[in-house]
Amino acid sequence: MRLRRALIPLQPRSYNLTCMKRLFLIPFAVTAVWANYLRTGGGAMVDEGTSLKRTSDGGYIITGYTYSYGAGSGDILLIKTNASGQLQWAKTIGGPSADYGTSVIQTSDGGFALAGITYSYGAGNYDLILVKTDASGNLLWAKAVGGTDYDQAHTVIQTPDGGLLVAGETRSYASGFSDFILVKFSGDGTFQWAKAIGSTSVDEAFWMAPCSDGGYILGGRTGTSGSGFLLVKFLSNDNLGWASVVAGGYYYSFLKAADIIQTSDGGYALTATSWSYGAGTDDIILAKLTSAGALEWARAAGTTINDLGFGLVQTPDSGYVVGGETEEYNTGPCEMVVLKYDKHGNFLWAQQFDRDGTDDLFSDLALASDGDIVALGTYGNDLALAEFNPGGANCRAIQWSPIITAITPSVTACTPGITSISPTVTDIAPTVSPASIPWTTICEELGTEESAGGGSGLSIRGHAVFFALAQESKVRLSVYDPAGRLILTPLDGLAKAGEHSVSLDGLRNGIYMVELIVDGKRLVGRAIIR
């Protein structure tokens, strides 16, 4: 039974879901509530997420690939969740052969753009694919870009003019074995220009970030001056600003590589994997650069075996969170790891997923609207979404103790070759289908902490939900089951200042998520009914 009180001012009182046979009006300290979780989605075969972005509604958009669903031997996945990581919808996109999503963004019109790799369409072996959808994941247009050889897209951004810029690697138009490829489209999908960037060796672009000056920075692997990271800064007019090689790294997989961001001080930070520095065979690198590309500081983190760095975000305190994987004992599954540094590169904490014999691989990071850290990866053969609180707590994580080393990789200015190219651009119509993906909560945890403000708070004790209001507010209280289905909304309307409580005695035994929205501010918690 769904109980709903709409358009009725709510007085300070207690509410009971079983005809008010018990009342709760208990003084309590106002608390703020945080929750963390691990949720998975997937079918009978391999389903992996590769790119994660927070959306304007506080939720998340995910791309990746699926072998469980879709039209071909592997299809692009496009998944939308709410702010709690609960599935809202999922689509598969692809043709008769293999197609992979590698990068996704929300565009200024509220829709989405995703880049990836297609074997179903295009002129050659693998081609770049760019897909534009509306806010519900419905196809607006799609393009395949490439030549007769091997071409892939790894990253996409939106430009200040509303266009889309895609980067990756090309062998069809390379001066050496492979080059960076950079392709520009207008917002409606009209091809504008393309460039190949690189040396006479191996150059592969994996990440790109928009910059505050209207330009963008592009980076990836290079064989120039040994194995290292090639950074190329472009101005707002698409001309070269500067380029540098940071020595001592390599990429791990064509679907997962390093990351670069512009920092709040106008500089840059990058993470990747290096076999040149640190304690083990491979270590996770975090490097901070100035706005001109000069090194400020760098750290290597790892164990004595294999540790891989893939994702990076800057936190509200100007620090950095790095995501990756560890194979600490070189004896079996990899585990997802998340590390936190302050703005000066001082190590603060690290967490890893608890070892249970299952591969927990890492793909990408995003910041939640409340400052929590959300990680995308895989859990076994399924896509996984995990939320950590700002201190690193997660219901499945344990402390990780990597060896942290201050390092000084060389940074050398360079002038890569930049060539205008004319790839084959094909309008394509991939099949877009809804996907009924099972979405499972592996674990979820609730914590409380004192609120300094004395405003709206949420506390769950026993079978009751408590909250307090400093002033009359618009309140909505909802209860969801573990699959994210709405069970009931006992409160929805204006509530007076004071303390309120709601009994959950009418619910069956189980675990429920409780969501309290007060004047647009959202708090969540977990209720266990026994």
Comparing CA positions, the residue from 34, 42, 133 lying closest to residue 385 is 42
Summarised one tens digit per residue, pLDDT across range 47-70 is: 999 999 999 999 999 999 999 999
Residue 27 above 90 pLDDT?
A: no
What is the chain's mean pLDDT, rounded? Answer: 85
Written as six digits, the tokens of 513 are 């998520």
CB-based contact 149:171 (threshold 8 Å): yes
Q: Say if CB 141 and CB 188 are below 8 A apart.
A: yes
Most confident of the following: 235-244, 266-275, 301-310, 453-462: 235-244
Under the banding of pLDDT at 50, 70 and 90, the label for residue 3 is: very low
Residue 92 buriedness (CB in 10 A; 0-12 / 13-18 / 19+): buried
Write out pLDDT tens, residues 427-471: 999 999 999 999 998 887 654 433 323 334 566 666 778 787 878
**What pLDDT was estimated at residue 18?**
37
Confidence class for position 293, pLDDT limits 50, 70, 90:
very high
Give residue 432's pLDDT: 98
Instruction: Output 299 or 485, whichever has higher pLDDT.
Output: 299
Residue 506: pLDDT band with limits 50, 70, 90: confident
- Residue 356 has a pLDDT of 61
pLDDT digits (tens, 9 = 90+) for 119-173: 999 988 899 999 999 999 999 999 999 999 999 999 999 999 999 999 999 999 9
- This prediction's pTM: 0.79
pLDDT higher than 80, residue 101: yes
Question: Could you tell me the domains of the chain?
Answer: 14-30+451-529 (2.60.40.3080), 35-439 (2.120.10.30)
Is the pLDDT reported for residue 115 higher than 90? yes
Residues 316-375 have pLDDT tens digits of 999 999 999 987 555 567 889 999 999 999 999 999 986 566 678 899 999 999 889 999
pLDDT at residue 368 in the model: 95
Residue-level pLDDT at 13: 42
- Tell me: pLDDT of 38 over 60: yes
Residue 514: per-residue pLDDT: 81
Average pLDDT, integer, range 504-517: 79
Task: Name the region of 241 (left: φ>0; alpha: ψ -120 to 50; beta: rest).
Answer: alpha
Residue percentage of the chain with pLDDT more than 90:
58
Residue 9 pLDDT grade (very low, low, confident, very high; cuts 50, 70, 90): very low
DSSP3 helix / strand / coil % (the chain, rounded to 5): 0, 60, 40
Continuous segment of H or E residues that includes residue 112: strand 112-118
Confidence of residue 17 (pLDDT cuts 50, 70, 90): very low
C-alpha distances (whole Å) from 175 to each of 113, 169, 200, 203 are 29, 12, 5, 10
CA dihedral angle for residue 269, residue 271, residue 277, residue 283, rounded to 10 degrees: 150
State the Cα–Cα distance between residues 307 and 102, nearest whole angstrom. Answer: 22
- Strands lying side by side in the sheet with 439-450: 360-367, 373-379, 382-388, 31-41, 439-450
Q: pLDDT at residue 2 above 60?
A: no
Q: Say whether pLDDT at 4 is over 90.
A: no
Residue 509 vs residue 484, higher pLDDT: 509
Q: What is the tens place of the pLDDT at every residue in 301-310? A: 998 878 888 9
Distance CA 311, CA 308 (A): 10
Name the nearest CA neighbour of 174 among 195, 192, 145, 193. 195
Coil/strand/helix, residue 432: strand
Report which of 90, 97, 166 is spatially closest to residue 133, judged by C-alpha positions: 90
Give the position of tokens 């409340």. 370
Task: Please give the average per-residue pLDDT across 500-523, as a whole number.
Answer: 78
What pLDDT does 280 receive? Answer: 63
Give residue 527's pLDDT: 72
d(Cα 523, Cα 503) in Å, to the nearest integer? 18
Residue 525 has pLDDT above 80, yes or no: no
Contact, 479 vs 514, CB < 8 A?
yes
Dist. CA 359–CA 48, nearest whole Å: 12
Average of per-residue pLDDT across 386-396: 86
DSSP secondary structure, 444-480, as one string: EEEEEEE-SS-SSEEEEETTEEEEEESS-EEEEEEEE
- pLDDT-based confidence at residue 496 (cuts at 50, 70, 90): confident
